[in-house]
Amino acid sequence: MLNYRCLVLDHDDTVVRSEETVNYPSFLEALKVLRPGRTITREKFTRWCFSPGFSALCSDYIGLTPEEIDVQYDMWRSYVATHIPPPYDGLRPILTRWKQEGGLLCVSSHSARENILRDYRLHFDLEPDQIFDWDLGEDRRKPSPYALQEIMRLYDLRPDELLMVDDLKPGYDMAHACGVPFACAGWSHDDPEIRAFLRRFSDFYLETVQALEPLLFGA
């Protein structure tokens, strides 16, 4: 028995370990080209991505122009094409069971569709039912509620029939705006300020991947 009809997953640092293996190192590489001599610590990178988000990190903190953000994105896509982030241990059997029991699986992410599909095929031998990725554009990507609203429209679902799982504030903001239950992927956190915020405001704070299973499946 499923406790929800649709599981909506973030991708980076919820499903795959991408900050340490792809996103942060590729951003440093982009800075060498776009802002020679400028750098950012991983701690500050994590906190800006948490709030107010990656777009604000690029434009407000680093000061990249829209054209430079496009260059950074292209450099990231080249990097991630040859650097595949590993999945979190324990997710594969949970996602396999979820699909076998008839659950809908959607992804809302700032990653690119082709990389999300590659990771799901490689790591889990399945594909999501819907993917809402970076290329939706600024007005439709997280923290915009568009993805959740569209999922509810497509499948005629109520907010309480979805569960959003994310590790950062944009995912929480999106879920909160739609009245969708939010579970924090706490298994990826080591920043005490981020942990404190999401412990306080999440409907569920999951310390481990394994803690997701009883939340999804009833008796």
- What gap in Å lies between CA 153 and CA 145, rounded to an integer? 12
Coil vs helix vs strand at 167: coil
SS3 per-residue string spanning 35-85: CCCCCCCHHHHHHHHHCCCHHHHHHHHHCCCHHHHHHHHHHHHHHHHHCCC
SS3 per-residue string spanning 98-163: HHHCCCEEEEECCCCHHHHHHHHHHHHCCCCCEEECHHHCCCCCCCCCHHHHHHHHHHCCCHHHEE
pLDDT at 214 over 90: yes
Closest alpha carbon to 185 in 130, 126, 109: 109
The share of the chain scoring above pLDDT 90, in percent, equals 84
Could you tell me the sign of the dihedral formed by the alpha carbons of 158, 202, 124, 55, in that order?
positive
pLDDT tens, residue by residue, 125-173: 999 999 999 889 889 999 999 999 999 999 999 999 999 999 989 999 9
pLDDT at 49 over 70: yes
Is 19 in contact with 46 (CB distance < 8 Å)? yes
Which residues does residue 16 pair with via DSSP β-bridges, in sequence order?
12, 87
Domains of the chain plus CATH, in order, are: 6-17+87-216 (3.40.50.1000), 18-82 (1.10.150)
pLDDT tens, residue by residue, 175-200: 999 999 999 999 998 889 899 999 99
**Burial environment of residue 49 by CB neighbours within 10 A (0 to 12, 13 to 18, 19 or more):** buried
pLDDT of res. 51: 83
Tell me the average pLDDT of the chain: 94
**Burial environment of residue 158 by CB neighbours within 10 A (0 to 12, 13 to 18, 19 or more):** exposed
When pLDDT is averaged across residues 30-34 and rounded to a whole number, the result is 95
| Cα separation values, 64 from 23, 56, 58, 69, Å | 17, 10, 6, 6
pLDDT tens, residue by residue, 107-127: 999 999 999 999 999 999 999
Q: Which residue has the tokens 């950012």?
A: 40
pLDDT of res. 39: 94
Q: Which residue has the higher pLDDT, 81 or 24?
A: 24
pLDDT of res. 97: 97
When pLDDT is averaged across residues 8-28 and rounded to a whole number, the result is 95
pLDDT at 219 over 80: no
- What gap in Å lies between CA 106 and CA 1, rounded to an integer? 19
pLDDT of res. 119: 97
Tokens of 200: 């306080």
- What gap in Å lies between CA 55 and CA 98, rounded to an integer? 32
Q: Give me the count of residues in the chain.
A: 219
What's the whole-model pTM score? Answer: 0.90
- What gap in Å lies between CA 10 and CA 219, rounded to an integer? 26
